[in-house]
Every structure is written in C-alpha cells, then in structure tokens.
Amino acid sequence: MYRPDGIDNLLMIPGPTPVADEIRAALAAPTIAHTSPGLADVIRRCQEGIRFVAGGPSADVFLFGGAGTLAQEAAVVNLVPPDERLLVASNGYFGDRFVAIGRAHGITVDHLTVDWGESVTPEMLDAALAANGTRAVALTHVETSTGIAAPAADLARVAHDRGALVILDAVCSLGGMPVEMDAWGVDVVLSGAQKALGVPPGMVILALSGAAMDRRRSLGRVNAYYADLLNWEPSMRDPTQYFSTHAVNLFYGLDVALGIIRGEGLDARYARHDALARGFRAGMAALGFDSLTQAPYLAPTMSVLAYPEGVDDLAFRRALGAHGVVAAGCLGPWRGRGVRFGHMGNIDEGTIIRALEGVGRALEDLCVDADPALALHTARAAAEGTPAVR
C-alpha cells in the first residue's frame, strides 16, 4: 500500500483525524463521471446526511472542493456586502480568521475577543450588538486553538433576537457534538470533512437557512466566483448540472462517513465523544497535563493541555512521534506552553489508550517522573464514569 511517511502513525491532532478503513476503501473506488446520475445520487445522500447532522432538515446544503477556510470565506462573502458590518465573536485563532476574511473583502469588522482559554458570553455579545446594530455575526463552535466549546445555542439566540444572521463555524464540532441549526436559530453552519466526520480534508460543507438564502439573493453580485453560492446552486439542486468538477471520490468517503453516523445514532455518537474526552483528559491529568481551557467550556472533540513543569514542546512531540503518536503544538500565545490533541471522529477507547501509552513512553524517554499504568487505569475508569481503583 502507498504510505507517504512510511509509518502507521496514530493521528491525534485536532484534524485531520484517523480515517476508518470503511471510508478509506470507499475513497479508493473507481472515479466516475462528475455529472453522472450515479454521483448525483451520492451527492444528494450527502446533502441529506449533512441536514441530519447539522439539525437543519430544510437547509440548502452546498458541498464542494476546498477546506474549512474557504467555507468561512464563502459564508462571509455570500451574506455580508462590503458596505455592511460583521461582528466576530472570537475565542482564538480561527475566530480571528473571520476578522481577516471580512477585512480582506472590505467589510467593517467588529471584533469581540476574550483572553485565550475563555469564551465570549451571551451577555458580552448582546452588549456588543446593542451598541452597533450589526446584521451578521460569526461564531466559532469549537475553537481549535483553545479547545473552547462556545455556548453556541445561547450566543446564536442572542444574535437572532437582535435581528442578525448567524454564521456558525462547526469545523471542529460537526459530527462530534450536537449542532442544532434550526433549534438554535443558526443561518449558516459551515464545516470541513476532516475532523469529527472522519473523512480526509478537501471538502467545503455549508448548510444555509431560508433567511440566509434570501440574504444571498438580495445582494446581487458578490466578491466571489467559485465561492459564490448562487453559481453553485443549480449544481447543488441537480448535481448532474456542471458548475465546477465535483470532488468525486471525497463524496464517496463522505457518503460512507454519514452512513456510519446514522448507523451509530447521534446521541450514541455524542455520548461516545463525551466519554472518550473524559477518559483522555483524566489519563493525561494523571500524567501531569492539565487543561488550558476553562472548565465549563471544555470541548468533547479535542483537548489543549499544559505541559508538566520542565517538559519541552518540541522534545515531547518528537518523542511522542517516535512512539507513533502525532499531536499538535499550540498556536499564538500558547505556543510552546501546551499541546493539542484531537479525540473525535470514528475512534474508540483503544485509540485513547494507545495515545496515552505513547505519552507515557515519551515522558519516560524524557526522564519525566510519571506513572503510565495509573494513567491508563484512570482513563478507563473515567471513560466508564466510575472512580479509579488501582
């Protein structure tokens, strides 16, 4: 088999995530014509699956080649014209990206921020909206730089009540925790395929409410061509219509991934993510790694953990890599201070145990005093919700 780096690494970064064998096998199926009726059926099934996972049964779903950043840009450009304001409630690096995107398109951006590791609250958002009357708000559900799961339902309700359209970046949440587009009053859910959905990177996912579609239509021309959703609309309604070549094989992978989600059931899937997050964090705490993220906002899909005293970031991640586990460094003000792990998608307790074993061995290599056996025991117990007994 083709192996780009020659090793069977366990990808524990917060996306892309490990791709299940079933999905990988689907990706390897023969490429069929991008406007064929067979692919159109696959695309329609994927759209229906995204409506299901995003909680928007009547949403218009757009799926095309690109990454999460393009999904963010498409959401902004299709809803906010250059002479209007966009309010960005940012909890870190990827929230800030909305600010850069807005400014790149000549939009006046109001930037609501908090210290890293904390979350913008509904009260803060309400006060900001009362002050400037913005008609669109961008929120990040799980901020991948800080591990914050924002109180998205409450933030969206506040924005909605103030008459603003709500854009929700669900790149690091969709498929790993509840996203309730209609119930929360979200107008655009945007995502990528490479995180909790468990598909390789390369797919833009956008679900738009009726109000968001109306807004797009009311704007006329926007500063986009490939990312102009009105250009995609005929092809998304009837995928045999050409606008730009569909990402054929990625659709196969997404189709199977969404089938796995339906088979597991949303509640069971979210409960699994909660249990694995609990177990992983308990095991890591036993090894001396504490969360940098504020407790009420801990995301179930990933963790950002501070190094124990004296552990060097690069040396640790190199040692961990030598044991076949890949973690991500921190970004921005937390660079060097902590490490980021993903625990989302189609993984199980064995994945968490393998990651913790790797961390234990890496600490041993670095001559850090730790008790890996206790960590594994603690993780298993926490994942089952029972106290650790040695």
Binding region for ligand PLP (CB under 6 A): 15, 67-69, 72, 94, 140, 144, 169, 171-172, 192, 201
Is the Cβ of residue 140 or residue 351 nearer to ligand PLP in the bound state?
140
Is the Cβ of residue 119 or residue 140 nearer to ligand PLP in the bound state?
140
Is the Cβ of residue 107 or residue 370 nearer to ligand PLP in the bound state?
107
Is the Cβ of residue 66 or residue 283 nearer to ligand PLP in the bound state?
66
Nearest distance from residue 384's CB to ligand PLP, in Å? 29
Nearest distance from residue 258's CB to ligand PLP, in Å? 19
Nearest distance from residue 237's CB to ligand PLP, in Å? 26
Q: Which residue is nearest to ligand PLP (CB)?
A: 68
Intra-chain end-to-end CA distance of the chain, in Å: 42
Nearest distance from residue 134's CB to ligand PLP, in Å? 20
Nearest distance from residue 172's CB to ligand PLP, in Å? 4
Is the Cβ of residue 49 or residue 192 nearer to ligand PLP in the bound state?
192
Is the Cβ of residue 330 or residue 353 nearer to ligand PLP in the bound state?
330
Is the Cβ of residue 94 or residue 362 nearer to ligand PLP in the bound state?
94
Nearest distance from residue 192's CB to ligand PLP, in Å? 5
Nearest distance from residue 84's CB to ligand PLP, in Å? 22
SS (H, E, C) the chain: CCCCCCCCCEECCCCCCCCCHHHHHHHCCCCCCCCCHHHHHHHHHHHHHHHHHHCCCCCEEEEEECCHHHHHHHHHHHHCCCCCEEEEEECCHHHHHHHHHHHHCCCEEEEEECCCCCCCCHHHHHHHHHHHCCCEEEEECEECCCCEECCHHHHHHHHHHCCCEEEEECCCCECCECCCHHHHCCCEEEEECCCCCCCCCCEEEEEECHHHHHHHHHHCCCCCCCCCHHHHHHHHHCCCCCCCCCCHHHHHHHHHHHHHHHHHCHHHHHHHHHHHHHHHHHHHHHCCCEECCCHHHECCCEEEEECCCCCCHHHHHHHHHHCCEECEECCHHHCCCEEEEECCCCCCHHHHHHHHHHHHHHHHHCCCCCCHHHHHHHHHHHHCCCCCCC
Is the Cβ of residue 237 or residue 335 nearer to ligand PLP in the bound state?
335
* Distance from C-alpha of 215 to C-alpha of 229, rounded to nearest angstrom: 12
Nearest distance from residue 205's CB to ligand PLP, in Å? 11
